[in-house]
Structure 1
Amino acid sequence: MPKISNKGLAMPQSPIRKLVPFAEKAYAEGKKVYHLNIGQPDIKTPQNAIDAVKALSLDILAYTRSEGSDDYRHKIAEYYKGVNINVAKEDIIVTTGGSEALLFAFGSIMDTNDEVIIPEPFYANYNGFSTASGVSVVPVISKIEDNFALPAIEEFEKLITPKTKAILICNPGNPTGYLYSREEISKLAKIVKKHDLFIIADEVYREFAYDGNQHVSILEDEFGLENHAILIDSVSKRYSMCGARIGCLVSKNKDVISTALKFAQARLSPPTLAQIASEAALATPQSYFDDVIDEYVERRNLLIEGLESIDGVKVAKPKGAFYCVAELPIKNSDHFAQWLLESFDVDNETIMVAPAGGFYSTPNVGLNQIRIAYVLNKESLKKSIHILKEALKVYND
């Protein structure tokens, strides 16, 4: 029988999606499952994006340019100017989600066995993208006790080797909700310039910054990272358009853009209909985001207060995005998460969470942690907290 590749065998399962069969079985048994495991907002997609697709009258659904349509990239550049990022449409490649943008970035700047430094815990699929690209993740550990703040720059410098090509951050962070300060971005800028590295920033949660804090981008002029910075973005969370699968790679480094374009050409073009919807979404008024942020702050506060009321639970308070990491009084969150779906319910209702071990690359770290996405309405969150509290009593007994 032909053999599967070593790369395929090494490819990690998603901690977010690997429990889906157990959730489906719970559904088949008549249970209601509250999905805290995945960042699929229940916020409505802006109506102008939906209407743009409904209004189409096409005879042929054709390819667009490999880098995305001119009109859409021009409007993205205008959007960025509004958030203090001065780029032109030529600095932008539209991708099939932020995931493809990350794969293009890895493929453009790293070779097999090169290294990328990532503060952990990090978005679980960074492990998968690294494996697919033959790249090694070198983690620098942030801790729940420090609210997952950026580790000292000295910790980064200790890890830099001749194989190091980039530092990757997610800001605000998935899974932690940590929001990097201007001072922290400045420190990272200095280290990548000192060692002539790239810095990749996944900024898909840019709009979701709370408590009066402001998001700071690596592509703001003051950091002088024109040759070093690669920005990853997506419409998925900003406009609650996860199914559109439209993102972009942005860089002022012309070599990065021309190289990434070759990867884009190899897959022909990003989805045409989704670009049309995404272009329309750019006209979404600020009031939409104001309302969404107010809603997420209320959900966050409800969730954190509820988790802190449970004996033995430790939680970091997120400053952005819509996730938090909670440490539970258990030994193995993979087992616990599966048990919740297979063997536990309160009035025929249970919860689905994401085991946090998959958000680390360091072995045996985060095994007693879970990631919770507070993308459900407040009533569902209240029920979910109650279910978790009762589940821990039974599980530990």
Structure 2
Amino acid sequence: MPNISERAVEMPASPIRKLAPLASAAKERGLHVYHLNIGQPDLPTPEAGLDALRHIDRKVLEYSPSQGFKSYREKLTHYYKRYDIHLNADDIIITAGGSEAVLFAFMSCLNPGDEIIVPEPAYANYMAFAISAGARIRTIATTIEEGFALPKVEKFEELINERTRAILICNPNNPTGYLYTRREMNQIRDLVRKYDLYLFSDEVYREFIYTGSPYISACHLEGIEENVVLIDSVSKRYSECGIRIGALITKNAAVREAVMKFCQARLSPPLIGQLVAEASLDASDDYAREVYDEYVERRKCLIDGLNRIPGVYSPIPMGAFYTVAKLPVDDAEKFCEWCLTDFDFEGQTVMMAPASGFYTTPGAGRDQVRIAYVLNKEDLQRALAVLRKALEAYPGRTEA
């Protein structure tokens, strides 16, 4: 039988989804599984978007333009202006989710063998997209003890060589919830300018910032406008993960021209998704406020609850709706599997994402998990009680 490709062998399994078969088996045994593993919001999609879906009045569901509907892109410019990001419609290319935007950015800006510097832990699929593009991710470590703050500029410069082409950040960060400070963003800007790098900035969680510190977009950084490629998506802010609508944004005309070749090759972004996403831009201020307030409450519930469990530590995430927590276990991946295969408390168990899958450094994050606070507070409280019982019963527990 022919071998599969080296690229396929290298492609990592998702730490978020790879335990899904075990969760399915647990449910078949009658257990209730609290899903803390995946950033799938449970809050309602804006009614404006749902109304657009219910009332689609078309005779043909046709291809859309490869760059996305102009009406949607023009409407998006007004959305970004609220965040002091000034664009015209041609700066925006609509993609099939933020994932396609990252992939097309890599394919358009990087050659096989080129390197991207990424702070770790990082969203696991960045590695998958890099492998798809033939690029290599070089990680720079951040630590839970320091709240995942960026290291000094010298640590970045140690990694820069003739193959370095880009820095990639996620701000606010998935999986840590960290929000980059103005000083850190200026540090990144100076590196990008000094070494003439691309800055890929994934900013899909900008709505969810829980601190008085400002949101500093890569598009706010002066002097590197042509270097910035911004990644965005409606999945999280509107609870619209399933419509698969994202955006790639850049002032760099050469990059846009290259990206459009890949867009044309895949024909068009989702038609129905764009109709829903465009309508969702009319969501009320009340919708945004209610969603934000709910996540603030959930964050407090989860972080307070985690840090009350003996041996568990989580820094306070400043954005997004994730945290990375350190557990008193020998191996968090084994613990997460055990929770689904060998444990239950009153017919319940928890599913979490082993944080080691968000690191590329061997052994890093071995005793950590990523937890998404996308459940209501009552379910979060029950999940925390189940997690406490699981840690008490786990054979591989370590000293707190």
TM-score tier after normalising by the smaller chain length: over 0.9
For the 8 Å contact 1:186–1:223, the answer to whether it is kept is: no
Q: Secondary structure of the residue that 2:232 maps to in structure 1?
A: strand
Task: Measure how far apart 1:69 and its partner are.
Answer: 0.6
The match for 2:154 is: 154
The match for 2:27 is: 27
| Cα distance per residue 1:138-172 (max 9 Å; x no partner) | 00000001100111111111110110000000000
Partner Cα separation in structure 2 for residue 82 and residue 108 of structure 1: 29
Q: How do 1:160-309 and structure 2 match up within 5 A?
A: 160-220=160-220, 222-309=221-308
The match for 2:83 is: 83
Q: Secondary structure of the residue that 2:338 maps to in structure 1?
A: helix
Partner Cα separation in structure 1 for residue 154 and residue 78 of structure 2: 37
The match for 1:97 is: 97
Partner Cα separation in structure 2 for residue 55 and residue 150 of structure 1: 47
Task: Measure how far apart 1:258 and its partner are.
Answer: 0.6
TM-score between both structures, scaled by the size of structure 2 = 0.98
| Cα distance per residue 1:210-265 (max 9 Å; x no partner) | 13333110102x52221110000000001010001100000001111110111100
Identity within the alignment, %? 50
Q: Secondary structure of the residue that 2:104 maps to in structure 1?
A: helix
Partner Cα separation in structure 2 for residue 273 and residue 224 of structure 1: 38
The match for 1:343 is: 342
The match for 1:130 is: 130
The 4+ residue runs of structure 1 with deviation greater than 3 A are: none
Task: Measure how far apart 1:131 and its partner are.
Answer: 1.2
Q: Secondary structure of the residue that 1:347 maps to in structure 2?
A: coil
Q: RMSD value over aligned CA atoms?
A: 0.9
The match for 1:139 is: 139
Task: Measure how far apart 1:58 and its partner are.
Answer: 1.3
Partner Cα separation in structure 1 for residue 292 and residue 157 of structure 2: 36
Q: Secondary structure of the residue that 1:138 maps to in structure 2?
A: strand
How many aligned positions are there? 396
| Cα distance per residue 1:303-329 (max 9 Å; x no partner) | 111111111112121000000000111
Partner Cα separation in structure 2 for residue 285 and residue 48 of structure 1: 9
Q: Aligned partner of 2:23: which letter?
A: A
Q: How do 1:364-375 and structure 2 match up within 5 A?
A: 364-375=363-374
Consecutive unaligned residues of structure 1, counting only runs of 5 or more, are none
The match for 2:59 is: 59
Q: Secondary structure of the residue that 2:138 maps to in structure 1?
A: strand
Consecutive unaligned residues of structure 2, counting only runs of 5 or more, are none
Partner Cα separation in structure 1 for residue 302 and residue 379 of structure 2: 11
Q: Secondary structure of the residue that 2:219 maps to in structure 1?
A: coil
Q: Aligned partner of 2:195: which letter?
A: H
The match for 2:120 is: 120
The match for 2:356 is: 357
Partner Cα separation in structure 2 for residue 77 and residue 255 of structure 1: 20
Partner Cα separation in structure 1 for residue 105 and residue 351 of structure 2: 32
Q: Which moved more, 1:256-265 or 1:149-158?
A: 149-158
Partner Cα separation in structure 2 for residue 287 and residue 243 of structure 1: 23
For the 8 Å contact 1:207–1:215, the answer to whether it is kept is: no
Q: Secondary structure of the residue that 2:394 maps to in structure 1?
A: helix
Partner Cα separation in structure 2 for residue 184 and residue 287 of structure 1: 32
Task: Measure how far apart 1:297 and its partner are.
Answer: 1.1
Task: Measure how far apart 1:7 and its partner are.
Answer: 0.4
Partner Cα separation in structure 2 for residue 276 and residue 35 of structure 1: 30
Partner Cα separation in structure 1 for residue 284 and residue 155 of structure 2: 42
The match for 1:314 is: 313
Partner Cα separation in structure 1 for residue 104 and residue 73 of structure 2: 17
Asked if residue 324 in structure 1 is aligned to residue 339 in structure 2, the reply is: no
Partner Cα separation in structure 1 for residue 7 and residue 163 of structure 2: 20
Task: Measure how far apart 1:5 and its partner are.
Answer: 0.3
Q: Aligned partner of 2:133: which letter?
A: S
For the 8 Å contact 1:172–1:321, the answer to whether it is kept is: yes
